[in-house]
Amino acid sequence: MDAPGSGPDRATVVIPVASEKQAMDWSLTLASQEILCLIRPPAEGLRWTLEVDPRDAGRALRTLRQYHLENRARQGVLTPRVGEFVFHWAVLLWCVAMVMVFSASNVPGGPVNAAGAFDTRLAHAGQVWRAVTATFLHAGPEHLTANLTFGFLLIGLAMGRAGVGCALAITLLAGSFGNLFAWAWRGHDYIGVGSSGVVMGALGLLAASALIDARRGRVSRPTLVRSLLGGALLFILLGTAQKADVLAHAGGFIGGAVFGSILAVLPDRWSRARGFDAACAVVYGLVAGIGWMLALH
């Protein structure tokens, strides 16, 4: 990065940083505001530093303070910072919920499976909530195991990228959209169950999340293109397997990518606000809860 100032003797303002990673993050933050800085590695026992022109010092410190406040607000019980490639173990709660619903649906004479399956004849008669409840059901142990295996990884990564509540809400909506998409495309009646559309929604969200990094200047355009193509290829590998409901998978992937793209263009003051992820968790609970309340009524 170009050094501030116009000559070797020009005075600069030195800003200490804790590590090389922080130096890179802060320099990108300053660059986004068109503030030039020079990264100085440790020398003679000194730590990493940034050097900025004295004329830009006040604006640089205000920018870094705002960056610190935004990231501190984003760090909480539910949500790591957007942009980090991390895995969130809260996905275990999703896995437990899938197992519990599967157990309840296999109780002899129980109403869960019949009430929640995506029976398109009944959906056409007005029971559209079945598009939601069907994402919690599975045809058998093998079906459940397959979705838990891929869902554990992809939804866990989606939670790490977008936040627990946000990932849950987006993937549920994406999986529900996948059911409706498959129904509209086929144009005939059938019965469908499974959370694979939800899992593909997580994959679409992960692919689109590269847009967040691109918008913030963290990745180059070629890296963005490779990320999107990688997501598409992974969908082909996982979503078009033998006996897979390709249309529901495609709808889930598209839904996740669309909602992920919307998340990428939201202003930071919204998507990084302290209550945003909690609000998304509430949306998830309401959509799932109302769907099952209507199904079992």
Q: Are residues 17 and 129 in the same domain?
A: no
- Band (pLDDT 50/70/90 cuts) for residue 292 is very high
Q: How far apart are CA 93 and CA 21, in angstroms?
A: 32
Task: Note whether residue 257 is domain-resident.
Answer: yes
Query: Total domain count for the chain?
Result: 2
What's the whole-number mean pLDDT along residues 41-60?
84
Q: How far apart are CA 13 and CA 54, in angstroms?
A: 6
- Terminal-residue alpha carbon distance, the chain: 63
Per-residue pLDDT of 193-212, as tens digits, reads: 999 999 999 999 988 887 77
Q: Are residues 138 and 198 in the same domain?
A: yes
The whole-model pTM stands at 0.70
Q: Are residues 165 and 111 in the same domain?
A: yes
What's the whole-number mean pLDDT along residues 233-242?
79
Lowest-confidence pick of 71-75, 174-178, 225-229: 71-75
Per-residue pLDDT of 139-165, as tens digits, reads: 999 999 999 999 999 999 999 888 899
In this predicted structure, what is the pLDDT of residue 6?
Answer: 46
Q: Tokens for 79?
A: 């949500």
Task: Note whether residue 79 is domain-resident.
Answer: no
In this predicted structure, what is the pLDDT of residue 9?
Answer: 46
Q: How far apart are CA 132 and CA 177, in angstroms?
A: 9
- Position with higher pLDDT, 286 vs 107: 286
Task: Note whether residue 210 is domain-resident.
Answer: yes
In this predicted structure, what is the pLDDT of residue 122?
Answer: 96
CATH number, residue 216 = 1.20.1540.10
In this predicted structure, what is the pLDDT of residue 218?
Answer: 65
Q: Are residues 41 and 104 in the same domain?
A: no
The full 3-state SS of 65-114, as one line of letters, equals: HHHHHHHHHHCCCCCCCCCCCCCCCCHHHHHHHHHHHHHHHCCCCCCHHH
pLDDT > 50? residue 239? yes
Per-residue pLDDT of 80-93, as tens digits, reads: 444 445 789 999 99
Domain extent, residue 63, equals 13-74
